[in-house]
Structure 1
């Protein structure tokens, strides 16, 4: 028996070492670290860890031990939650939706501002725990009541679960603001990455609930705003920049939208898109709407190759406005609240926010834009991790809290 355990231990150790070596080699062969990024060694190490976890998750998935998303979530939940003695933190459920409420302990003579927060993670990861420290920071720095929404995600739940959970939790919260000591005229919807996209989708949906208090402001941090055009300048320029490389982005999109991974190239190249559809959406999604300074001379055409009708039939559900909030009509955009948009130069999703910025401004919606030259996708997730934090992480967290304090 001891020999069997020894063989098993050696086998597992060899597997882990082999996978990590593969991840490191893959990183150095494919990853691009722009010169503007600070602490490149730290970033390289963290990206190798990400690739290692994803690769090991795929192996376990093929062995039918556990799914790849669940394996990633196991690792993310190892993060250390910091206790803030100035806040009361309460875990609750709104129906089947887990939420976490952060309330300042100090007595206030007036109702406080409210923040509804939707975390990131591309539906593969992200949780109440992994974004706990950020929500705690926002609650204390802005003296606000923060509701963090723990929506359901992969592997058990796919589209449109995130939007529905975020909307239902928000409606319940908005109906009971006085219970939580929140001023109905000062509620902010805030989200990062796919959570930023959820902000846009939720506030659009809330327009159909006139009896509820109106959202005062929307805060979108490096948001996912569309799943139609993956040939924007930022996608081409940053396709191999950690942490959101093209490979990881496509894994997240295909799994959440229940698209077979064999259609990845059609999705990336746009060959699934009928010409008539592109004529309709290009006025909002074309790279012509991106400021010149964000474009390089070596950009490829937005759509290449002949139209693939079979791909269209498999992928066409991504053209739904409940997937891509950038596709709604002008009359809806014009009704939205003021916005604070955070973009990172080295983020493949940078141009999603820039397209949204233009749409809002064209309809007269006030926009405050905060651009981080040394930022990369997901950096705010690391803002309070000390050893693994980056200057851009702290800058974004402070900029968001500063904006919200002005609401």
Structure 2
């Protein structure tokens, strides 16, 4: 699909933002190099539009993992979401998903714990996943002290964070540990073959194109002999049976779209309860931009309904 055709798919808000990005990012993201990518991706001070009762930071594990907690109210036994930000395993921060975590906490009536996992290439695979596993174990083991119901913990993430959430569920199954009550995956990075049609249809899509995704993969996994195991690439799992129920969000104009939807189909085929929603007219990264896109606010609202249902059992 050429640029003219996918440009026509964008809704008014996304088309306007694509024009802004075309000026701010006249060459593909990966051509900026690591420091340039990080400078471009550095978030502005978070808008903090959604009032929340409590925000506090925790540090856990060795090396220490910073986890930011959001509580809509101060009471014991709240359900909880462990949130994993996106950014190609290379960029991204707690501040970049601050407003999103506030909204999830407020709308889903739960505590949200946002994880600042280590980034590649300084900390390649499996460092990020090790941090996520440690954060989940900490949340589960210390749930009562943290005022969280250990039987009502969900995991969520966008893009690379969605891939980490999927990998966490696979790791928990391997360990024989309880699954989360739900995995909420926004356009998750779950495959390393880059072979489905959306990778060619949207190879030069706004913000993230095919070559950008390949560059991010190389930062995370290395350029030679990168890992083939299922925890690096969840689509490689022989079976997805026994994993947590899932809600998978995709964007219409996104190279990752077909991989995420194929993962949803595999979950369903392997007996996992799964819902899927493709949002028309938007491109990769929309889910976290709740102050920018109407579709993002719709997607978050629907995700929070799904979370409330999962928490209710």
- In the superposition, the TM-score normalised over structure 1's length comes to 0.70
1:163–1:206 Cα change, 3 Å: same
Larger radius of gyration: 1
Higher helix share: 1
Indicate the residue corresponding to 1:406 in structure 2.
309
Residue number in structure 2 paired with 1:167: 133
- Check if 1:337 corresponds to 2:244: yes
The corresponding residue for 1:100 is 68
Once residues 374 and 91 of structure 1 are traced to their aligned partners in structure 2, the CA distance between those partners, rounded to angstroms, is 36
1:80 and 2:55 are equivalent in the alignment: no
Counterpart in 1 of 2:275?
368
Cα pair distance change 1:149/1:247, threshold 3 Å: same
Q: 1:70·1:155 contact (CA, 8 Å) conserved in 2? A: no
1:322 aligns with 2:231: yes
State the match for 1:220 in structure 2: 185
Question: Corresponding residue for 1:200?
Answer: 166
Structure 1 pair 391–104 and aligned structure 2 pair: CA distance change class (3 A): closer
Residue 297 of structure 1 aligns with which residue? none
SS at match of 1:156: coil
Which is worse superposed, 340-349 or 40-49?
40-49
Deviations 1:36-57 (A, max 9, x none): 2112133221243245795894
1:38 maps onto 2:11 in alignment:
yes
- Root-mean-square deviation (CA), in Å? 2.3
Give yes or no for contact 1:196–1:220 (8 Å, CA) kept in 2. Answer: yes
Return the alpha-carbon distance in structure 2 between the equivalents of residues 193 and 94 of structure 1.
Answer: 24
Alignment CA distance shift 1:323-1:56 (3 Å): closer
Q: Are positions 1:231 and 2:195 aligned together? A: yes
Q: Mind listing any 5+ residue stretches in structure 1 that lack a counterpart? A: 1-28, 62-66, 260-313
Choose from 201, 209, 214 the match for 1:245.
Answer: 209
Higher relative contact order (CA 8 A, sep 6+): 2
Q: Are the aligned partners of 1:104 and 1:140 in contact in 2 as well (CA < 8 Å)?
A: yes
In structure 2, runs of 5+ residues without a counterpart are none
* Structure 1 residue 366 displacement after superposition: 0.8
- Distance in 1, matches of 2:296 and 2:96, equals 15
Q: Name the structure 2 match of 1:181.
A: 147
Is the 2:143–2:150 contact (alpha carbons within 8 Å) kept by the matching residues of 1?
A: yes
Structure 1 residues 89 and 52: CA distance shift in structure 2, 3 A = farther
**Alpha-carbon shift at residue 84 of structure 1 (Å):** 4.6
Aligned partner of 2:286 among 379, 383, 392? 379
Q: Following the alignment from structure 2 to structure 1, what is the Cα–Cα distance between the partners of residues 256 and 236?
A: 16
Name the CA shift for 1:161/1:130 in 2 (closer, same or farther; >3 Å). same
Q: How many residues align?
A: 305
Q: Secondary structure at the match of 1:168?
A: helix
Provide TM-score, normalisation by structure 2: 0.89
Cα distance, 1:103 vs. partner? 1.2
Mapped to 2, the partners of 1:151 and 1:55 lie a distance apart of: 21
CA distance in 1, matches of 2:202, 2:123: 29
